[in-house]
Amino acid sequence: MSVLYVVVPLALVIVAIAVGGYLWAVRSGQMDDLETPALRVIRDDE
Amino acid sequence: MATLLAPTPVADATDTVCTHCGLPALGADAIDGPNFCCSACATAYAMINAHGLGAYHRFPERRGAAVRPSGRAFSDFDHEAFTARYVHADAAGLMHVELALEGVHCASCVWLIERVPLLVTGVAHAELDVRQARASVTWDPGATQLSDIARTLDALGYTPHPYRGGERAAMRKRDDRAMLVRIGVAGAIATNVMLAALALYTGGFNAMDRGSMQLFRWLSLALTIPALLWPGRVFFTGAWAALRTGTVHMDVPIALALGAAATRGAINTVTGSGPVYFDGVCTLVFLLLVGRFLQARGQRAATDATEQLFALAPATARVIQADGANLEVPADAVAVGALIAVHAGETIPVDGEIVAGESRLNRAILTGESDDVHVTVGDTVYAGTLNRSAALRVRVNASGEDSRIARILAQVDESARRRAPVVLLADRLASRVVAVVLVLAIVTFALWMRRSPAAAWDHAIALLIVTCPCALALATPLAMSAAVGRAARAGIFIKGGDTLESLSRPGTLVLDKTGTLTVGDTTLVSWSGDASLKPIVLALEATSSHPIAAGFRRAWPDVRASEAMQVTHTIGSGMTGVVDGRSILIGSPRFVAAELPHVAWPAWPDDASTPVIIAVDGRIAARAGFGDAIRPDALASLTTLRARGWKTLLLSGDTAAVSQRVGAALGFAPNEIFGESSPEEKAARVRSIVLATGGGHTPPCVAMVGDGVNDAAAIAAATVGIGVHGGAEASLATADVAMTRDGLAALVALTDGATRAMRVIRRNIMWAFGYNALGVALAMTGHITPLVAAIMMPVSSLTVVLGSWFGKTFTVEAR
């Protein structure tokens, strides 16, 4: 079971990176308007 | 209001359709070239194509409504007072403004508005928020002016208004982001602590070695501490605030349960024995935060109302100085007694009396009359009404907060605040539940204390966790937001869940006439005369922008117009001209009688419509009757609603005679019809109905259905305000429910959906409450094990989530 002492902290690091990414997304305003970007992308290349 | 799906085009494939908007193009016959229904669409089309944006016209879901520009000059947008208030300069010298736009609704709107930089040189950037119908525009003041940008948006059909709630919006954005951060962190921690808990439970059955068990315990503790200190802190500060003011609040037992469970868990971790509760603690924090977020979002939409209303009144007024020069002044700073100039096509910024000029005014915003009225020297005009045809000079009687529209808006605000009692009741009920839980926890602790302190602690904490209003807290907001989401896809926009509750039981339904029960346009309802006159009439009317002229064009889309010459217009009366060599006279009976005093008039049946007389070569030839056509689905929908137990009343600003006639046709009893009501009287009547039916435990709902700003105060005074399709954006904004689906059938769908949504909510609460009651029984008798608690919590929440999601509330029609 000693592998746990390596894998569990590693999992925590990965979680921390994911949470960091999420915080960056929220704080840079990517969650402010969830509707318009979805519409914008449909017509972008025309 | 934004919808993802465009309305279906109304034209048949065989009709000639407007190349720009897709509506039938009347009088157009070019097979290959572009056809237009009106000159505004032609202008918009030309503008779009001249800048290489022709792709717009290949989008299948573009706007299905004719372009209706306000035609304003927007010169007030360049004024210093306007700039000081709404425009911000950035470091690079670029200007930035937030504009509220009318008529935004779909993907092609996003595409077109965000390409404004291509249409107007000097615009650096334009970005649209579809849901809020708000565009933020950045431009170079050296290359263009805001009025140019505003005129371009207006010509495309998106009439801009300055957005006046900037600070509140920024604050709200900060709140939203903070909440999302808390939810995200709490969610990440909760899932990981759950994984550790899973390891502990399975390990407990399979004799996991003590070292690994301790690893997972310490890991859970290490994750739980930040979860409580960061996202979970709101519950502790909330509980502390409640205790300091001597009240009990949902936050109190939550904070108590979180604190006690975490402390006990930490002690058990250090001693290496007993359950740790951390999984429950973290899941609780996460789910409660989600519930609160959903609730806050629902309530928020309702407060947007007055902000959008204010956008309608113009920002500046043109004051005439002693030397004759014009000076633009912020509209609310104009002194009483000052003289102002109002150009044609502008909205009147103040209340006052006309001292020079005559014109046609559209007063729909205040009175709900769809027809323009003729005004001249000595008449009183009100802020917010639209000056259609000629320049006016107005002596100011009242401006800013004293103007009539501002007083109506103040009533709206007041009515909105008066809703608070419902919220208070909910709080009282919640604190009662809270008190019961606290008492039960103390009882459990005391009972088990006689056995052993450890057992007393464990069982009391287990009780607090298991009764935690996890599923209960999610039951209502989740079911409501699911129902509101389904309703939105069906074209019914509901703000705030309490609306659904009110509408789920039949009450009183108060309906506005013009625009709600009727189409609201000037419609040709009768024609007494020779069909060969139709091309002649159209020829003259083609030269007019009067609503009557538009009515003729709508009524006879297939008739080819002849050519008219020597046309003269008399404002508010009629017109003359020569068509095919014959001299033609079209106008009100008074006008025709004045022009042709000695001719005989045929006898026409009186059909209660507004007459327009046509005379050819000095002989009275035909009579056209104009009226307001009743919506085709109105009678059927009202009959259905009455059968469901709703009491219906008709409230109109129109004359008593017209109101009685329309009401009788729709099955209203004479004492259920109230005509000649001013906006203030409408609001007062609705308020008195609310008072009369109020009282009791659950007062029956009084719903006001309307479309104009003249209904806005009444809509706000009602228990539930409903704005119907095609109404002023302002009334849609004030309303608790805004419908973008045409007709009254949506009302039936709304009440049915609300009834079903409440059924889902009651079922949810029953499930959640059942689980909690069972949990209390098990915890108090000491039968609850950490494993059972851990399974019960998510299962009860999951039941509620699934129940909300698959509950059949509003029917989403396939389009």
User: Measured between alpha carbons, how far is residue B262 from residues B214, B224, B586, B793 in Å?
Assistant: 16, 8, 85, 17
Q: Are the Cβ atoms of B212 and A1 closer than 8 angstroms?
A: yes
Task: Give pLDDT tens digits for B17-42.
Answer: 777 777 766 554 555 567 777 777 88
Tell if the CB–CB gap between B111 and A40 is shorter than 8 Å.
Answer: yes
Whether B303 shows a pLDDT value over 50: the answer reads no
| Alpha-carbon gap, residue B446 to B428, rounded angstroms | 27
Is there a contact between A40 and B211 if contact means CB atoms under 8 Å apart?
no
Provide the 8-state DSSP code for B129: E
Q: Does B108 touch chain A (CB under 8 A)?
A: yes
Q: H-type helices in B272-403, by residue range?
A: 278-303, 305-310, 364-367
Q: Which residue of B has its CA nearest to A39?
A: B107
B604 touches chain A (CB under 8 A): no
| CB contact at 8 A, B258 and B232 | yes
**B110, A46: Cβ pair inside 8 Å?**
no
Over range A37-42, report the average pLDDT: 76
Using one digit for the tens of pLDDT, what is the confidence trace for B175-231?
889 999 999 999 999 999 989 988 888 877 777 788 888 899 999 999 999 999 999
What's the pLDDT at A13?
94
> Distances in Å between the alpha carbon of B278 and those of B193, B196, B264, B635?
7, 9, 10, 60
Instruction: Please give the order of strands across the beta sheet that includes B339-342.
Output: B326-330, B316-320, B339-342, B392-398, B351-356, B380-381
Q: Give percent of chain B with pLDDT exceeding 70.
A: 78
The DSSP letter of residue B533 is G
Average pLDDT over residues B781-785: 75
Contact residues, chain B, for A1 at CB < 8 Å: 208-209, 211-212
Helices B786-806 and B745-780 pack at an angle, to 10 degrees, of 170
Q: Which residue has the higher pLDDT, A41 or B354?
A: B354
Cβ within 8 Å of residue B92, ≥6 positions away: none
Contacts of A20 in chain B (CB under 8 A): none
Q: Which one is predicted more confidently, B411 or B485?
A: B485
Task: Name every chain A residue with its beta carbon within 8 A of the beta carbon of B219.
Answer: 8, 12
Select the more confidently predicted residue: B107 or B1. B107
**B627-636 pLDDT tens trace:** 777 888 888 9
> What was the pLDDT predicted at B59?
74
Give the lowest-confidence range in B96-105, B205-214, B310-319, B672-681: B310-319
Please report the pLDDT score of residue B291 as a whole number. Answer: 73
Closest residue on chain A to B172 (Cα): A32
For chains A and B, what is the number of CB pairs under 8 angstroms? 70
Is residue B47 scored above 70 in pLDDT?
yes
**Which one of B58, B107, B208 has the shortest CB-CB distance to A39?**
B107
CA-closest candidate to residue B660, choices B652, B651, B670: B670
Question: Which pLDDT belongs to residue B383?
Answer: 84
For residue B438, give how far its alpha carbon lies from the nearest alpha carbon of chain A (Å).
35
DSSP class of B526: E
Please tell me the distance from the alpha carbon of residue B482 to that of residue B478, in angstroms, as a whole number.
6
B114-118, B290-294, B318-322, B728-732: range with lowest mean pLDDT: B728-732
Q: What is the pLDDT of residue B218?
A: 93
Contact between chains at A26 and B129 (C-beta distance less than 8 A) = no
Chain B nearest-CA residue for A38: B107
Share the mean pLDDT of chain B.
78
CA distance B90 to B77: 18
Interface check B211 vs A, CB under 8 A: yes
Q: What is the separation of C-alpha B242 from the centre of its chain, rounded to a whole number of angstroms?
A: 34
* Residue B517, strand partner residues: none
Give DSSP secondary structure letters for B198-261: HHHHHHHHTT--HHHHHHHHHHHHHHHHHHHHTTTHHHHHHHHHHHHTT---THHHHHHHHHHH
Higher-confidence position of B464 and B427:
B464
**Closest to B731 (Cα-Cα) out of B386, B296, B461, B365:** B365
Query: Is some CB atom of chain A closer than 8 A to the CB atom of B177?
Result: yes
Please answer whether residues B702 and B669 qualify as being in contact, where contact means their C-beta atoms are separated by less than 8 angstroms: no
With H, G, I as helix, E, B as strand and everything else as coil, classify residue B309. helix
According to the model, what pLDDT value does residue B442 have? 87
Please check whether residue B600 is in contact with residue B388, taking contact to mean a CB–CB distance below 8 angstroms: no
Instruction: Tell me if chain A has a CB within 8 Å of the CB of B131.
Output: yes
| Inter-CA distances, B109 with B115, B151, B163, B254, Å | 10, 16, 18, 46
> Cα–Cα distances in Å, from B523 out to B269, B270, B514, B517, B676?
79, 82, 12, 14, 21
Contact B177 A26 (CB under 8 A): yes
Q: Do B110 and A1 touch (CB under 8 A)?
A: no
Q: What is the pLDDT of residue B305?
A: 44
CA distances from B217 to A1, B197, B737 (A): 15, 8, 50
For residues B629 and B519, the answer to whether their CB atoms sit within 8 Å is yes
C-alpha dist (Å) from residue B442 to B247, B262, B439: 19, 18, 5
For the segment B754-779, what is each residue's pLDDT rounded down to a tens digit?
888 888 878 877 877 787 788 888 88
- Given CB atoms, is B184 within the 8 Å cutoff of chain A? yes
Q: Evaluate if residue B2 carries a pLDDT over 50.
A: no
Which of A10-24, B31-45, B465-479, B483-497 has maximum average pLDDT?
A: A10-24
Chain A's closest residue to B208, CA to CA, is A1
Q: Per-residue pLDDT tens for B534-580?
A: 888 888 887 776 667 778 877 887 777 777 777 777 766 788 888 88
Range from B183-197, B321-335, B387-401 carrying the lowest mean pLDDT: B321-335
**Interface contact B177-A32, CB threshold 8 A:** yes
Closest CB to B108 among A11, A19, A43: A43
Higher per-residue confidence, B128 vs B423: B128
B268-277 per-position pLDDT tens digit:
899 988 778 8
Per the structure block, which two tokens stand in for B375? 């005004």
**ipTM beyond cut 0.90:** yes
Q: Which residues from A are below 8 Å from B107, CB to CB?
A: 39-40, 42-43
